[in-house]
Amino acid sequence: MTVAANLKIIHDQILAASARRPLEYKDFEPRLVAVSKLKPPELIIDAYEAGQRHFGENYVNELVEKGTNQNILAKCSDIRWHFIGHLQRNKVNKLLSVPNLYVIETVDNEKLLSVLNFSWPKFRSQDDLKLKVMIQVNVSKEEGKNGCEVSKVSALVKYIINNCKNLEFVGLMTIGMSGYDATKRSNPDFLQLRECKQNVSKEFGIDLKKIELSMGMSNDYEHAVELGSTNVRVGSAIFGERPKKDI
């Protein structure tokens, strides 16, 4: 199967899952983020030429390399990069230098927010352009997974609103429990993130429609869409299995 054929299958499945959603979610179409980590630029260009625009990367160095790749810059002028990996404060400037950086989905503490807020004006192309950020939440409470505790979400949103004039809070992100069988019942991690969204909307008076939910990957994106995800991150189902990363 080609990348273009895989994208067609996934888009069709997203549309089918969207049709199964409650009426309250019918006003938006979920965004597909093609996770291209450890994949060559040629496949990114193939996906772009098939109509894909949003791409996700987990490693800062790899995103910098691809984001500044001359072929990608020449052939993918409207590409939009999502950073979806753990971000260390000492790599913020390197990440913010990437052309067409669209959103950072994995912010989980005030110190990182503060550094992003301070650094972004040095890189933004327009004075009024804010950097989009999502708060990553470790709803499954699994060790080894990044993200803040559910109880810290409100404080982080408040910190963005009150202290980060250069950042725009756009939503919440999570990685669901590993190996969860969605055929049993609704994934409790996705339900909890949805509840976080409702609480944030109520506490800060933010329209529910303006708070994104980034949840769902190759093995569970259809289920996530059914539960209200606005942003699904799919890699292997598009590009095939990944090689192991050299350590």
d(CA 166, CA 131): 6
Summarize pLDDT for 193-237 with one digit per residue, the tens. Answer: 999 999 999 999 999 999 999 999 999 999 999 999 999 999 999
Residue 43, domain member (yes or no): yes
φ/ψ region of 38 (left if φ > 0, alpha if ψ in -120 to 50, else beta) reads left
Q: Which of 9-13, 27-31, 106-110, 174-178 has the lowest mean pLDDT?
A: 174-178
Residue 229, domain member (yes or no): yes
pLDDT of residue 245: 62
Summarize pLDDT for 149-164 with one digit per residue, the tens. Answer: 999 999 999 999 999 9
Locate the DSSP E strands across the chain.
31-35, 54-57, 80-83, 101-107, 131-136, 167-173, 212-214, 231-234
* Rounded average pLDDT over 54-81: 98
pTM for the full predicted model: 0.95
pLDDT confidence tier of residue 183, bands split at 50, 70 and 90: confident
In this model, does residue 59 exceed pLDDT 60?
yes
Which one, of 125, 179, 134, lies nearest residue 153 by Cα? 134
d(CA 34, CA 9): 13
pLDDT of residue 98: 97
* Rounded average pLDDT over 170-192: 87
pLDDT of residue 247: 44
pLDDT of residue 246: 58
The number of beta carbons lying within 10 Å of the beta carbon of residue 53 is 16
Residue 247, domain member (yes or no): no
* CATH code assigned at 51: 3.20.20.10
d(CA 101, CA 108): 19
Q: Number of structural domains, the chain? A: 1
Residue 166, domain member (yes or no): yes
Q: What is the mean pLDDT of the chain?
A: 94
pLDDT of residue 177: 81
pLDDT confidence tier of residue 166, bands split at 50, 70 and 90: very high
d(CA 247, CA 239): 22
Residue 7, domain member (yes or no): yes
d(CA 195, CA 71): 42
Residue 225, domain member (yes or no): yes
Residue 244, domain member (yes or no): no
Tell me which residue range forms the domain holding 217.
3-234
Residue 241, domain member (yes or no): no
* Rounded average pLDDT over 178-200: 89
- If one compares 34 and 182, the residue with the highest pLDDT of the two is 34
* Rounded average pLDDT over 120-146: 92
* Rounded average pLDDT over 47-72: 98
In this model, does residue 65 exceed pLDDT 90?
yes
- DSSP class of residue 137 equals B
Angle at 164 between CA 163 and CA 165, to 5 degrees: 110
Contact criterion met (CB below 8 Å) for 54 and 105: no
